[in-house]
Structure 1
Amino acid sequence: MTNGRTHLDTTLSLDRIGKRYGDVVALRELTFDVRPGEIFGFVGSNGAGKTTAMRIAMGVLAADSGEVRIGDSPVDLSLRRRIGYMPEERGLYPKMKVGPQLTYLAQLHGLSASDARGAAQRWAHRLGVAERLGDPVQALSLGNQQRVQLAAALVHDPSVLILDEPFSGLDPVAVDVMSEVLAEKAATGVPVVFSSHQLDLVQRLCDRVAIIARGELRALGTVDELRDRGTTRIEIVAPQAPADWADRVPGVRVLGLSNGQTTVELAADADDQELLAAALRTGPVHRFAPRKPDLTELFREVVSA
């Protein structure tokens, strides 16, 4: 790592994690890793198992099977102190003032009193809540509480970051600040994993993405890799074409039609040249080009499959 620590493997690995609640399987053989310096997006519908997986990674919950490791070492109490964790439900003391609370949390992770105070002030300033250090958490807006929650995850200079819905409730300016902070931490070699329902942010920020559904890993890869595995889609701009022109082509499903632009999805055995010929029969074609699905579209495909 590049921040003065010894060079240790900080890869966060979830290896065949299983978890049941009675007859309900929350996680089934969940396996992935988050590499040093990587921003990793963990996405899924409500109830898919994201929060359960993150709580197990942090040690808040015990897995029924499998193992969580940092490098080659199973995560124990000493390694958990190296993790910065931001729960979805705010885990701060609402009546405690921001400054003393951040200082206290830093000390719990092993910092001296003076180092903890310095770190609390530094992160409060970086995240835009320095003027609120003397206020109780409950007096802050929800967005500022979220900023303080991130400061609490960062105040002890963690080797691994696990963040559950960190962008929830943030305004666009705060989203930009948090995005910059995560990129800065990753640039120092810290593996960063976060869950989010804001898939546009995941697509923009993440090096790799995992999609989970019903406790199972359904897709894993870079955003480009995941988009390449989606169904074939084509955008056609044919201003004179009637509304139903593409419906007549075998193996074609119309996804969108607006102002002469038609977006279609091709079945595996469909012929794109037959589609182009059909478009040309309607008049001039100004555009005929493949279009990769964005992460939101891919997510729908993977989860509904």
Structure 2
Amino acid sequence: MTVLSISSLEKSYGTVRALRDMTFDVHGGEIFGFVGSNGAGKSTTMRIAVGVLSADAGTVTWDGRPVDHAIRRRIGYMPEERGLYPRMKVADQLVYLARLHGLDAAAARRSMERWTETLGVEERRGDEVLKLSLGNQQRVQLAAALVHDPEILVLDEPFSGLDPVAVDVMSGVLRDQAAQGVPVLFSSHQLELVERLCDRVGIVRAGSMVAVGGIDELRQTDERAWVVDGPPSAFASSVAGARVVSSDGSRTVVAVGPSAPDDVDQQLLRAALAAGPVREFARQRPTLVELYRHVVTTEATPAAELEEVSA
């Protein structure tokens, strides 16, 4: 399986160390979400991956080969800052970019028509980019990344400024590309979307990858918790080691530590049923938003000491 491999990247701007041993892989056919605070190193990593910046140390390889000029032509890159010519018409611009990547005139025209139709901007082909709404500019920017049928997609904040319908369209495009074997790497601050769309997620802090893995893997914690709706929260006191995390009306969150027996869920359910009718009993796992908040607010913990979950 083809792999885009980011290995031990280092990058400094003067005294500011932007990347510290940045390492992760994106496999062919997977969507990898790249999340972190502003300034964490996401854009710098992507720019190095596509050759816009050079690293101080480390490597970027595709299928085991260093990413050179020939491979870069096969990458679809979408920068966070829109990289379109504002006074150039949409169709002319996309055809021009496709030709730069080696498509002949007819193929470039067909690809432009395909992607403007897929992304819902076919009626704006004759408009200058500057006359488009921000959302439509974003759609055209994605079309520019796709117009040469790339083998790798690297997208920096592709969902920024999009309405919910456009988000659904773009999500569908990324899923389709992954289904064709394309590795898709994208950054986003929309964590609910990342959680819904991605096969794996990497959380970045201060230039280092501090957690990486599938959503279900990242959501595994030593402490287990359940949401119980119905009986009074006092039922939890009858189960050894159980503690009430929160109680809001009839809804109670109960947690147990890692030493609790495997059947503790059954013990909790029996205790809840004995205390009154149970309308809901469900395992609660942290969301990506909660995981992200925990990771990025952990104070000054060296990256090597943070748990890294590998897929």
Give the TM bin, normalised by the shorter chain: 0.7 to 0.9
Counterpart amino acid of 1:138?
Answer: L
How many Å apart are 1:281 and its aligned residue? 11
| CA positional deviation for 1:238 | 4.3
Secondary structure of 1:25's partner?
strand
SS at match of 2:86: coil
Distance 2:268 2:204 in 1: 36
State how far apart, in whole Å, the 2-side matches of 1:169 and 1:280 are. Answer: 46
Q: What CA deviation, in whole Å up to 9, does each residue of 1:54-108 have, x standing for no partner?
A: 1111111111110001111111111111000001111111111101010111111
- How many residue pairs get aligned? The number is 294
Paired residue for 1:263, among 253, 276, 284? 253
Match of 2:303 in 1: none
Contact 1:17 1:29 in 2 (8 A): yes
C-alpha displacement at 1:241, in angstroms?
3.8
Task: Give TM-score, length-normalised by structure 2.
Answer: 0.85
Aligned partner of 1:194 among 186, 193, 209: 186
Deviation at 1:21, TM superposition (A): 1.8
Moved more, 144-153 or 201-210: 201-210
Which amino acid is 1:260 matched to? S
Report SS of the residue matched to 1:236: strand
Q: Which residue of 1 aligns with 2:63?
A: 71
1:160-239 correspondence runs (5 A):
160-229=152-221, 231-239=223-231
In the aligned structure 2, how far is the partner of 1:261 from the partner of 1:268? 23
Q: Tell me the secondary structure at the aligned position of residue 228 of structure 1.
A: coil
Give unmatched runs, 5+ long, in structure 1.
1-8
Q: Deviations over 1:158-180 (max 9, x none)?
A: 01000111111111111111111
The one-letter code of the counterpart of 1:297 is E
User: Where does structure 2 lack aligned partners over 5 or more consecutive residues?
Assistant: 299-311
1:95 maps to: 87
Name the CA distance, whole Å, in 1 between partners of 2:66 and 2:171. Answer: 29
**Cα deviations by residue, 1:14-41 (Å, 9 ceiling, x for unpaired):** 0111111222221111111111111111
Q: What is the TM-score with the length of structure 1 in the denominator? A: 0.87
Partners of 1:71 and 1:187 lie apart in 2 by 18
CA distance in 1, matches of 2:80, 2:33: 15
**Cα offsets for 1:247-292 (capped at 9, x unmatched):** xx978472x432211224545567868x949x75994262554311
Displacement of 1:150 in angstroms is 0.3
**Mapped partners of 1:194, 1:98: distance in 2:** 24
Identity of aligned pairs, percent? 57
Alpha-carbon distance in 2 for matches of 1:280, 1:38: 41
Report the residue type matching 2:136 in the other structure: N
Tell me the distance in 2 between the aligned counterparts of 1:173 and 1:185. 19
CA distance in 2, matches of 1:136, 1:281: 65
2:11 aligned with 1:14: no
Residue number among 279, 282, 289 corresponding to 1:296 in the alignment: 289
1:61-140 superposed matches below 5 A? 61-140=53-132
Secondary structure of the corresponding residue to residue 296 of structure 2: helix
Cα gap change, 1:251 to 1:100, in 2 (>3 Å): same
Query: What corresponds to 1:5 in structure 2?
Result: none
**Which deviations, in whole Å up to 9, do the C-alpha atoms of 1:120-148 show, x marking residues without a partner?**
11111111101101000011111110100
Tell me if structure 1 keeps the 8 A contact 2:51–2:72: yes
Q: Which residue of 2 aligns with 1:3?
A: none
Q: Which moved more, 1:63-72 or 1:106-115?
A: 106-115
Counterpart CA distance in 2 for 1:62 and 1:208 is 26
For residues 10 and 240 of structure 1, do their structure 2 counterparts lie closer, same or farther at Cα, with a shift above 3 Å needed?
A: closer
How many Å separate the matches in 2 of 1:233 and 1:240?
17
Please, what is the CA RMSD of the aligned residues?
2.7
Distance 2:200 2:206 in 1: 20
AA matched with 2:195: Q
| Greater Cα shift, 225-234 or 25-34 | 225-234
